[in-house]
Amino acid sequence: MTTTTPAMPAGAQATTKRSTAAGRVRTRLNSRTATVVSIIVALLWTVPTFGLLVSSFRPEDQIKTTGWWTFFSDPQFTVENYQEVLFGTSSSSGQLASYFINSLAITIPSVLFPLAFASLAAYALAWINFRGRDWMYIAIFALQIVPLQMALVPLLKFFSTGVTLGGVTLMPAWDLVDEQKFAQVWFAHTCFALPFAVFLLHNFISQLPKDLMEAARVDGATHPKIFRTIVLPLITPALAAFGIFQFLWVWNDLLVALIFAGGGNETAPLTVRLAEMAGSRGNEWQRLTAGAFVSMVVPLIVFLSLQRYFVRGLLAGSVKG
Amino acid sequence: MEFDFAEEQPKLLMLMYGLIAFVAVVGGLLLLLDAVPSWFARRREAQLVAASANGAPPIRRPKRGESGFAFFFMLPAVLLLLIGLVFPAIRTTLLSFMDGGSDNWVGLRNYTWMFSEDSIVRVLINTLVWVLLVPLLATTFGLLYAIMVDKARFESVAKSLIFMPMAISFVGAAIIWKFVYAYRGEGQEQIGLLNQIVVSFGGEPKQWLLDSPLNTLLLIVIMVWIQAGFAMVVLSAAIKAIPADIVEAARLDGVTPWQMFWQITMPSIRPALIVVVVTISIATLKVFDIVRTGTNGNYDTSVIANEMYNQSFRYGQNGQGSALAVFLFVLVIPLVIYQIRNLRQQREG
């Protein structure tokens, strides 16, 4: 990132250094205030989540009649909410275990496919000479701005009725039932992820040293070989960054799942079920609190353990351009 | 009845099919690209050997370009983009000029409907409020926090806590905050934090999410809560990238913290600031999950993305839904053009 350097007034060096003892004390006090204030704000920021977490371990009648802060004066602890919301099989209980598996089944392929296709395309755009390469890159870059709302209706129609051109069926309807509908969701997520994925990975791949590529070419390595043996190992951090990004996006997505997965427990992910519970059983807090945490635990683990990669990807995607 | 794992097996089987398909497609593609050229190369070598054995001059073939490789490398991505984004986007644009069942052309009727129907005008105003407030508040908070935390100890822990909402789904965040806004009748013990605070200051508990326009503002709080972490992380990185000698020189010059902020920090992080504001604006324009989970768009809280979903998938009004989607697209375009120009200047400068 280049930054503009503001012009320094002349004579900056002329003023005497005021790094006296008092000055140092002041700096330290400043940094202490900063530490205290920033920690307090950070804790306040976490209070809503913390309240929900505490509540999810309280018995139902307690949650519904007293605030979660009374937990500290009158601690009562239970995991029954989790048991009920995960494994209970009455229609009102949540059955989240089933939806949890759906979320996994949706997310894993939806991360892998765009990762593979985008890195192939990004490599070609960066290191293979072909006609129209620049235009292709600009086109894919520009597709990032198309809101996925623009694609929903026709894509759904594509799955349900196929493609016919002048009476000739180019592509039959997919006619998927139950868990086969996962394929639709994978397909949709892969398409929607590609522009950003190509853009992000292209940023990394195009910055690999040119000498390395040329040396490999001189040694007679073909493009697929260079891609597999040189490029892929070198861009692992970028792959990780995009992988985490896409994982969080797909796991947390509601709109795409709502439209392409349907609402039943055969295919719908956790988010769809939770949104439905928040609407129809908005006062069943013993289920909503536990349910919300069931849906959060995986992304939180991924996020906390791989935060470094995620931040790096975020910065590369948004700032470096 | 107990949870029955056997019922889940078809899903895992389907997941396995997906993974097998992945290995087959990607592996197959790489194998194809590896094997085919080397087969051609071997055949050509054999031809050359045979030709030289006959004493005939080797056949010269025009050297094939690299386009073949490029074609196969690009094929899956381009194909999916065409099927999944380009054609659908064109089709949606066309549908926006047709009626609800997509049978007849109706000209601009869907667009005039959008700006004349009171409930939709309300939706547009709500979206405007969202897109003005969220980037402003989230960026301001993120910037202040980034500056403050820069000198603090435990910096990474504090930053992680602020950043954590980014990992939570919008649905989860909406539930967290609905619990904060929860309401119990007067006289009963409150279970929502906000009402408890109001009551302990002697006020009356309220059903926060039912009152317009306050409910929209309370939903906006959720989005700010999520996006502030993003703003903070990006801006904090930008602040750390300010060359130390500039800061040191300014400090020796005896500038006040106020001057330091406006004359050193702000100009240095301006590019990052623009990126943050634009990125959050775009995300806000498309906000859907929070409103859907929070109020389901009732009580005058709906925004464009929600109304688009309702029109297209609940009321079967494809024309009107498509018109809303196109309008959303049109709103995003200038933001992105601005961002691209900004990035280009940054690269050249």
Q: Give which of A150, A247, A296 to mutate to test B binding, by max B Cβ within 10 Å.
A: A150
Å from A306 to nearest chain B CA? 11
B245 touches chain A (CB under 8 A): no
CATH T-level assignment (fold) for domain A96-320? MetI-like fold (1.10.3720)
Per-residue 3-state assignment (H helix, E strand, C coil) for A237-284: HHHHHHHHHHHHHHHHCCHHHHHHCCCCCCCCCHHHHHHHHHHHCCCC
* Closest chain A CA to residue B314: A259
* Closest chain A CA to residue B288: A255
Nearest to A270 by CA among B219, B168, B177, B286: B168
Domain boundaries, chain A: 25-78, 96-320
Measured distance CA(B129)–CA(B239) in Å, rounded: 29
Q: Give which of B67, B74, B83, B289 to mutate to test A binding, by max A Cβ within 10 Å.
A: B74
Measured distance CA(B22)–CA(B15) in Å, rounded: 10
User: What is the per-residue pLDDT for A5?
Assistant: 39
Residue with tokens 């073909």: A222
**Residue B75: CA count within 13 A, CB half-sphere:** 12
DSSP secondary structure letter of residue A167:
T
Q: Is residue B80 very low, low, confident or very high in pLDDT (cuts 50, 70, 90)? A: very high
Residues B159-177 have pLDDT tens digits of: 888 988 988 999 999 999 9
pTM: 0.85
Residues B53-77 have pLDDT tens digits of: 776 555 554 445 567 778 888 889 9
Cα-to-chain-centroid distance, residue A197: 12
Instruction: Read off φ and ψ for residue B22, nearest 5 degrees.
Output: -60, -50
Helix (H) or strand (E) holding A164: strand A163-165
Whether A19 has a pLDDT exceeding 70, the answer reads no
Measured distance CA(A140)–CA(A191) in Å, rounded: 11
Q: Is residue B341 very low, low, confident or very high in pLDDT (cuts 50, 70, 90)? A: confident
**Residue B206: CA count within 13 A, CB half-sphere:** 13
Determine what percent of chain B is predicted with pLDDT higher than 70. Answer: 94
Is the peptide bond prior to B135 cis by the omega test (within 30 degrees of 0)? no
Q: Do A48 and B78 touch (CB under 8 A)?
A: no
User: Which structural domains are found in chain B, ordered by start?
Assistant: 5-107 (no CATH), 110-348 (1.10.3720.10)
* Closest chain A CA to residue B16: A105
Within 8 A by CB and 6+ apart from B71, the residues are: A130
User: What is the per-residue pLDDT for A198?
Assistant: 92
In this structure, are residues A181 and B320 in contact, taking their beta carbons and an 8 Å threshold? Answer: no
Residues A122-171 have pLDDT tens digits of: 999 988 888 888 888 888 888 888 888 889 988 888 888 877 766 667 77
Q: What angle do CA B167, B170, B175 make, to 5 degrees?
A: 110
Measured distance CA(B98)–CA(B109) in Å, rounded: 8
Residue with tokens 């954590």: B164
Average confidence (pLDDT) over B130-147? 93
Å from B128 to nearest chain A CA? 17
Residues A37-74 have pLDDT tens digits of: 888 999 999 999 999 898 888 888 888 888 888 888 87
Q: Give which of B85, B137, B269, B290 to mutate to test A binding, by max A Cβ within 10 Å.
A: B85
Q: Taking CB atoms and an 8 Å cutoff, what residues of chain B touch A90?
A: 1
Measured distance CA(A245)–CA(A231) in Å, rounded: 21
User: What is the per-residue pLDDT for A256?
Assistant: 92
Q: Is residue B346 very low, low, confident or very high in pLDDT (cuts 50, 70, 90)? A: low
Structure tokens at A22: 């008092």
Q: Taking CB atoms and an 8 Å cutoff, what residues of chain A touch B30?
A: 224, 227-228
Q: What angle do CA B282, A258, A310 make, to 5 degrees?
A: 50
In B84-143, the residues whose Cβ lies within 8 Å of chain A are 84-89, 91-93, 95
Residues A20-39 have pLDDT tens digits of: 666 666 666 677 888 888 88
Q: What angle do CA A265, A271, A275 make, to 5 degrees?
A: 95
Residues B20-41 have pLDDT tens digits of: 989 998 888 888 887 777 777 7
Nearest to A95 by CA among A227, A257, A272, A229: A272
**Terminal CA-CA length for chain A:** 9
Measured distance CA(A303)–CA(A288) in Å, rounded: 22
Measured distance CA(A23)–CA(A29) in Å, rounded: 10
Q: Do A124 and B69 touch (CB under 8 A)?
A: yes
In this structure, are residues B88 and A148 in contact, taking their beta carbons and an 8 Å threshold? Answer: no
